[in-house]
Structure 1
Amino acid sequence: MTAETLTLRAATTADAAAVTEVYLRSYDAALPTVRRAHSNAEVREFFQHVVLGRGGTWVAEAAGAVVGMMVLDGAELSQLYLAPDRRGQGIGDRFMALAKRLAPDGIDLWTFQVNAPARRFYERHGFVAAERTDGDNEEGEPDVRYVWRP
């Protein structure tokens, strides 16, 4: 995929189904050992009525299809998921550059400790592990908080 064929844009409520599908497919592919705390229907409701309603959601679109999504709530990067077949194509790098432009004073995020590819990605982008938990989250899965400061 070339950079010219990929567009990053603010999500609209019309993107809810596509954004949710990217999240579900990516989560299941990247985190097969992590129990999802919510059903597919609950996740769809959450994205449609909460996430997209509060703003800060961005999509990566290629050939008219949503292939990635990012949610940046102020300085918190709460979601960054790519369609499994689109990993390794620079989409995450473009989302990260956008996030750093939108939150130039710094970004915080959480990811699961077992998600080694995500951890490598964030570390490559200058994030530093700042805190670890033993699973103090809905999934009961140990996680790590990363911070980036310019």
Structure 2
Amino acid sequence: MTTSYPVIRPARPDEYDEVARIWMESWVSTGLDTASEALLTKLRDRVYREVENGWSLFVADDGGRLAAMLAINIPMMYLDMLFVAPEHQGCSIGRQLLAFTRIVLPDEIWLRCVRENEKAWRWYEREGFVYEREALEPAMGRMMKYYRWKKAI
């Protein structure tokens, strides 16, 4: 890893497989799942599908190595995914991606976190997101915590 901050830029289609790998490794680092070829395939397929369905997909490029992924649904004001590769966690890349998201969505941002991923939702709360509700996500079979950030007037 370089000593400067990574560059946030749009992901290229030839990087989608690497984006899926980062997503899987970061998700697995929460302890909520186990790495597997099946999980990687599922996430890879989802990256392609979600980009077709409106994701604006960004990466944090650390000198040619991808350090993180960020997926935003701009029309819905929704931060859908923010995952930092385990070897880059704790280096403020998440904060950099969140600051970037606030530039793209300057007035309001919605997101959700898996309830069991306490590290993530506590981080979003520290970053000014307000808990709105909790609901079961049928596709995942997990309880999700929904959050909103609104620009101070």
Pick the TM interval, shorter chain.
0.7 to 0.9
Question: TM-score normalised to the size of structure 1?
Answer: 0.87
CA drift of 1:39 comes to: 3.6
Question: TM-score normalised to the size of structure 2?
Answer: 0.86
CA drift of 1:17 comes to: 1.1
CA drift of 1:60 comes to: 0.5
The 8 Å contact of residues 68 and 93 in structure 2, kept in 1 or not, is answered as yes
Counterpart for residue 69 of structure 2? 69
Counterpart for residue 121 of structure 1? 123
Structure 2 stretches of 5 or more lacking a match? none
What do residues 50-75 of structure 1 show as CA deviations (whole Å, max 9, x unaligned)?
A: 23343411101113111100001011
**Matches of 2:141 and 2:92, distance apart in 1:** 31
Give yes or no for the alignment of 1:92 onto 2:94: yes
RMSD, matched Cα: 2.1
**Matches of 1:64 and 1:147, distance apart in 2:** 33
Counterpart for residue 143 of structure 2? 142
What do residues 64-114 of structure 1 show as CA deviations (whole Å, max 9, x unaligned)?
A: 111100001011001000101211100000000000110012000010111
Structure 1 stretches of 5 or more lacking a match? none
The 8 Å contact of residues 108 and 146 in structure 1, kept in 2 or not, is answered as yes
**Matches of 1:32 and 1:116, distance apart in 2:** 11
% identical equivalent positions = 24
Q: How does 1:29-108 map to 2 (within 5 A)?
A: 29-32=29-32, 39-47=39-47, 49-53=48-52, 54-74=54-74, 75-108=77-110
The 8 Å contact of residues 130 and 146 in structure 1, kept in 2 or not, is answered as yes
* Matched positions, count: 146
Moved over 6 A (4+): none
Counterpart for residue 28 of structure 1? 28
Aligned equivalent of 2:133, options 127, 131, 134: 131
